[in-house]
Amino acid sequence: MADYIRWFPIVYRSRSLPLGNAGFVEMVAESAPAPTLRAIADGSADVFAYINHDTSKPFGRIRNRTLSLRSVPGKGVYATAEIDPHVSYATDALHAWRRGDLRGGSFGFRCDRDEWWVEGSTPVRLIQSMTFTDVTLTTTPAYPATEFAACRRETGAAAESRSDRALADRVAARVLRLAREYPDRELRFGCDYRDGEEHLSIRSAARRGAYRPSVAMRRRELAVEQIAEEVSAYARTR
């Protein structure tokens, strides 16, 4: 009988520990992994499972049918990996998982679209769409909400993950600066990522304390240096 490891490498709406130089907090929306899961279903995407982010130690793969992934509504992406008894590091991981030494989850990804706002002095990022290429078991999850937690550390997509962190850190710093410049506004921003660059736009700028929903602005892209001027112009009309 085959042995399996089952865990949640991605957990929806679970807050991360502070990330990057800006100390932003990250969450994954339920819609975020959908593009990759659809691509897996039609056979156009491959995803690996690694141990502690080590790309030399794969223990599951979608195309080999030794890894399966499915979305659990309200929870996260559930992974099942079949363990090969002839692969020593995989059986070692199985024993470590059963003992509780490996109880965190992780994933390598590239963000395609997200939303930002500031709570107090903390930028908050909600990933709305992403492409993920690997999942892993780890001892150091960055999302501490559950035992099987989601996080983003060095993975098989290490270069993509580092690039995403750098882009996100730049966006977080800009969002925080604008929130400080306009403290009377509940600012929300949308960001699309294309060709290694971030394209930031204002999504809403409701007055604080107003008993009405935020009024969405037109979703045109704005150069970063134009955003402060756009906020001022929007504020003058309200």
Work out whether the CA dihedral 116, 20, 165, 7 comes out positive or negative: negative
| Alpha-carbon distances, residue 68 vs 14, 62, 80 (angstroms) | 22, 6, 5
Q: Indicate the number of domains in the chain.
A: 1
Beta bridge partners of 107: 135
Domain range holding 61?
A: 3-236
Beta bridge partners of 125: 26, 116
Q: Could you tell me if 133 and 10 are in contact, meaning their C-beta atoms sit under 8 angstroms apart? A: no
* Per-residue buried b or exposed e for 167-178, using 16+ beta carbons within 10 Å of the residue's own CB: bbbbbbebbbeb
Q: Measure CA 205 to chain center.
A: 24
| Alpha-carbon distances, residue 104 vs 8, 39, 65, 107, 209 (angstroms) | 8, 25, 23, 11, 39
**pTM given for the model:** 0.81
Q: Who has greater pLDDT, 42 or 211?
A: 42
- Alpha-carbon span 197 to 193, nearest angstrom: 6
pLDDT of amino acid 226: 57
pLDDT band at residue 210 under the 50/70/90 scheme? very low
- Alpha-carbon span 1 to 4, nearest angstrom: 10
Is residue 222 scored above 80 in pLDDT? no
How many helices (H) and strands (E) are present in the chain, helices listed first?
4, 10
Mean pLDDT lowest among 6-15, 119-128, 190-199? 190-199
pLDDT band at residue 208 under the 50/70/90 scheme? low
pLDDT of amino acid 182: 85
Is residue 62 scored above 90 in pLDDT? yes
